[in-house]
Amino acid sequence: MKFILTNNPLVKTKLGNSIKIEFCDVSLHQILLLTRDYIHKGYKLLSHPLSGSIKPNETLYKSIMLDANIEKLDMQSLSIIENSIMLAKNFADRDIKIMQQHKDDMMTVDLSIISGRL
Amino acid sequence: MNLELGYIKIKDIKFADKAEVKNGVLSVSKKDLEKIILEDENFTAVDFDIAKPGESVRITPVKDVIEPRCKVSGGGDIFPGVVSKVHTVGTGRTHVLSGMAVVTTGAIVGFQEGIIDMSGVGADYTPFSKTLNLCINFTPKKGLHTHTYEESLRKAGLKVAYHLGKLGKDVKPDEIKSYEYLPMMQSAKKYPNLPRVGYVQMLQSQGLLHDTYVYGVDMKQSLTTMISPLEIFDGAILSGNCVSACDKNTTYHHQNNPVIEDLFEQHGKTINFCAMIITNENVFLADKIRSSDWTAKIVSHLDLDGVIISQEGFGNPDTDLIMNCKKVEGVGVKTVIITDEYAGREGTSQSLADADPAADAVVTGGNANQVITLPKLDKVIGTLDYTDKIAGGFKGSLNKKDGTITVEIQAITGATNELGFNKLSAR
């Protein structure tokens, strides 16, 4: 069954009635690692982990859609998530305080991207 | 399909009561432009400023850059489907106010980006330090929703460029370039001994602040399709992409796409440039598979010998790029891909989120993680409030003692452009 793995509270609120949401209050980087865990458990990616051009060190929020693929390990998903984790490491920690208004904007953009084709 | 582009070289811009183009000087009526912009009740006020090459001026945060153009003859009008009615463009005569641009600035969201320095070391990294820039800064009404603000700002910039372009309609151009784009079979017949080359342009299409419009259609909702490159010269493709300053294609980039210009330059000499395909960069893998399948099907059906594929953006579109490349190579057609890199500040890490042995001819627009220190400049158009939060910025980016800004070059508009509209690359 399809579901969205997310740390974005707005996605949970806005899309919770139309698709299963796996909400985890963790960092963006941890969402990528959790996605890899799911893929190793037989799930496959439905959306790209590096969606959006806002870099992994610039936004706090990430939503990724996954689906069960119990037959075998989905190698394409594994390749994409491993490459995404590796590329995300190229962005140094910015060490800046983020205002709530900016957090709200980040949530809005992430919601727009993940809900674009729902 | 034939199109003439008449370039009117703008040597200076000034504010005046009467709007006109005379002796290479563009006179701009603030009153006229204010009226056009404030027709949209989502804005409560608007400011204009002029930035000239060599001045100690920094423009930030930049949303879009647009070149004023107007149709003199031929069907349709500039920016079809958005500013003018939907009608096929790309024929007849178009006049261009060359050497200038309309630059829109504004804080749509809290994390902002896009720096244009008109002088200093930063100016070398952006093509828009060489243009005379009419800058517009918008004040939205309170509580305006982000999506609505983005749409209003995007359209306002286009309306201003459309209005200014009209001022050049009856002006004699300084230079005229003529382009001929023949139907596929005719082109093959005319150049039987030249390799048939196509261009696949990938367009940003992910969501809010990440979209591109073709004749007004959100490219997310389109299958891969064909277009004449001459339509693009008339503003058929418009940027709604406000994120990733260094490698986003502004509307100006589309209007002056150097891949198209260079392919035309070689057309009839070393190649037969006979096809242009546009495709999207959606977030969902099913869309990526479908769109890249379609790209390869069209390329195969057209019996091309080679294609150039240009990307737009970072991360997610790397996968589209490689899918397009791999599948086009898979139908026996050679590819050259154009991208940029995020290889870490030292430039030593993996630079793309995807790769394949089929991608054996790659052009890079540079490493967006490269760090640069920009000098303090005397005047800021827009605001520096977002410098720490800007893409490529970090804590302490703005040195409050000496006014310098240390950022990755991804903060600079057009620095690593993936159409090659920049100076950076590698051999």
Any CB–CB contact under 8 A between B104 and chain A? no
B contact test, residue of A6, A32, A47, A48 with most B CBs within 10 A: A48
Q: What is the pLDDT of residue B386?
A: 64
**Is residue B325 annotated as part of the catalytic site, yes or no?**
no
What value does the mean pLDDT take over residues B90-103? 98
The tens digit of pLDDT for each residue in B99-146 reads 999 999 988 776 667 999 999 999 999 999 999 999 999 999 999 988
What value does the mean pLDDT take over residues A18-24? 96
Q: Which two tokens stand for residue B59?
A: 């423009």
Q: What would the DSSP string read from start to end of B287-323?
A: HHHHHHHHHHHHHHHTT-SEEEEE--SSSHHHHHHHH
- For A62-75, b/e burial (b = at least 16 CB within 10 A) is bbbbbeebeeeebe
> In chain B, what is the straight-line distance between the N-terminal and C-terminal CA atoms, in Å?
36
Q: Which two tokens stand for residue B380?
A: 């800021």
Query: Which residues make beta-bridge pairs with B308?
Result: B199, B336
Q: What is the pLDDT of residue B391?
A: 66
Residue in the block written with tokens 């001819």:
B361
Q: What is the pLDDT of residue B389?
A: 63
Q: Among partner residues B111, B344, B350, which is closest to A102 by beta-carbon distance?
A: B111
Q: Give the amino acid at B248.
A: K
Residue in the block written with tokens 């390990």:
A73
Q: What is the pLDDT of residue B112?
A: 67
- Mode of pairing for the β-strands spanning B306-310 and B362-367: unpaired
Kindly identify which residue of chain B lies nearest to residue A60, measuring between CA atoms: B111
What value does the mean pLDDT take over residues B310-332? 96
Are B158 and B150 spatial neighbours (Cβ–Cβ below 8 Å)? Answer: no
In this complex, do B315 and A52 lie within 8 Å of one another by their Cβ atoms? yes
State phi, psi for A107 to the nearest 5 degrees: -65, -40
Any CB–CB contact under 8 A between B313 and chain A? yes
Q: What is the pLDDT of residue B15?
A: 98
Burial of B175 (0-12, 13-18, 19+ CB in 10 A): exposed
For residue B241, pLDDT over 70 is answered with yes
ipTM of the complex: 0.91
Any CB–CB contact under 8 A between B206 and chain A? yes
Q: Cα angle vertex B166, ends B160, B167, to 5°? A: 100
What value does the mean pLDDT take over residues B44-71? 96
Q: How many CB atoms lie within 10 A of CB B323?
A: 21
What value does the mean pLDDT take over residues B249-256? 98
Q: What is the pLDDT of residue A55?
A: 85
Q: Model pTM?
A: 0.95
A104 CA: distance to closest CA in chain B (Å) = 9
Q: In what order do the strands lie in the sheet with A63-68?
A: A20-23, A3-6, A63-68, A43-45
What value does the mean pLDDT take over residues A54-83? 92
Which of the four pLDDT bands, split at 50, 70 and 90, describes residue B325?
A: very high
B237 CA: distance to closest CA in chain A (Å) = 19
A82 CA: distance to closest CA in chain B (Å) = 9
What value does the mean pLDDT take over residues A84-102? 84
In this complex, do A51 and B287 lie within 8 Å of one another by their Cβ atoms? no
Contacts of B248 in chain A (CB under 8 A): 53
Q: What is the pLDDT of residue B51?
A: 98
Domain map (residue ranges) of chain B: 2-178+193-411
What value does the mean pLDDT take over residues B222-228? 98
Q: What is the pLDDT of residue B390?
A: 66
> In chain A, what is the straight-line distance between the N-terminal and C-terminal CA atoms, in Å?
14
For residue A113, pLDDT over 80 is answered with yes
Residue in the block written with tokens 């995807």:
B354
Q: Among partner residues B110, B241, B243, which is closest to A99 by beta-carbon distance?
A: B110
Kindly identify which residue of chain A lies nearest to residue B218, measuring between CA atoms: A116
Q: What is the pLDDT of residue A117?
A: 64
Q: What is the pLDDT of residue B111?
A: 66
Q: What is the distance, to the nearest Å, from the Cα of residue B129 to the centroid of all Cα atoms in its chain?
A: 15
Q: What span, in angstroms and rounded, lies between the C-alpha atoms of B60 and B392?
A: 13
State phi, psi for B38 to the nearest 5 degrees: -80, 0
Which of the four pLDDT bands, split at 50, 70 and 90, describes residue A91?
A: confident
Q: Which of B202, B219, B124, B149 is nearest to B424 (CA)?
A: B124
Q: How many CB atoms lie within 10 A of CB B117?
A: 26
Q: What is the pLDDT of residue B388?
A: 62
Q: Among partner residues B282, B287, B350, which is closest to A87 by beta-carbon distance?
A: B350
A101 CA: distance to closest CA in chain B (Å) = 7
The tens digit of pLDDT for each residue in A31-59 reads 999 999 999 999 999 999 999 888 888 89
- For B145-159, b/e burial (b = at least 16 CB within 10 A) is ebeebbbbbbbbbbb
Q: Among partner residues A51, A95, A96, which is closest to B316 by beta-carbon distance?
A: A51
What value does the mean pLDDT take over residues A68-78? 89
Residues 6 or more apart whose CB falls under 8 angstroms from that of A35 comprise A5, A45, A49, A64, A66, A81
In this complex, do A94 and B208 lie within 8 Å of one another by their Cβ atoms? no
Residues 6 or more apart whose CB falls under 8 angstroms from that of B301 comprise none
Any CB–CB contact under 8 A between A81 and chain B? no
Any CB–CB contact under 8 A between B244 and chain A? yes
Torsion angle defined by CA atoms of residues A33, A37, A42 and A46, in that order, rounded to the nearest 10 degrees: -20
Are B171 and B21 spatial neighbours (Cβ–Cβ below 8 Å)? Answer: yes
Any CB–CB contact under 8 A between A100 and chain B? no
Q: How many CB atoms lie within 10 A of CB B84?
A: 18
Kindly identify which residue of chain A lies nearest to residue B318, measuring between CA atoms: A50
Residue in the block written with tokens 């809900």:
A115
Q: What is the pLDDT of residue B366?
A: 96
Query: Which residues make beta-bridge pairs with B177?
Result: B5
Contacts of A58 in chain B (CB under 8 A): 111, 389, 391
Q: What is the pLDDT of residue A90?
A: 86
- Does residue B61 have a cis bond before it (omega within 30 degrees)? yes
In this complex, do A105 and B207 lie within 8 Å of one another by their Cβ atoms? no
Any CB–CB contact under 8 A between A70 and chain B? no
Q: What span, in angstroms and rounded, lies between the C-alpha atoms of B367 and B346?
A: 9
Q: Which of B104, B100, B101, B126 is nearest to B115 (CA)?
A: B126
Any CB–CB contact under 8 A between B144 and chain A? no
Q: What is the pLDDT of residue B204?
A: 96
Q: Cα angle vertex A28, ends A26, A32, to 5°? A: 100
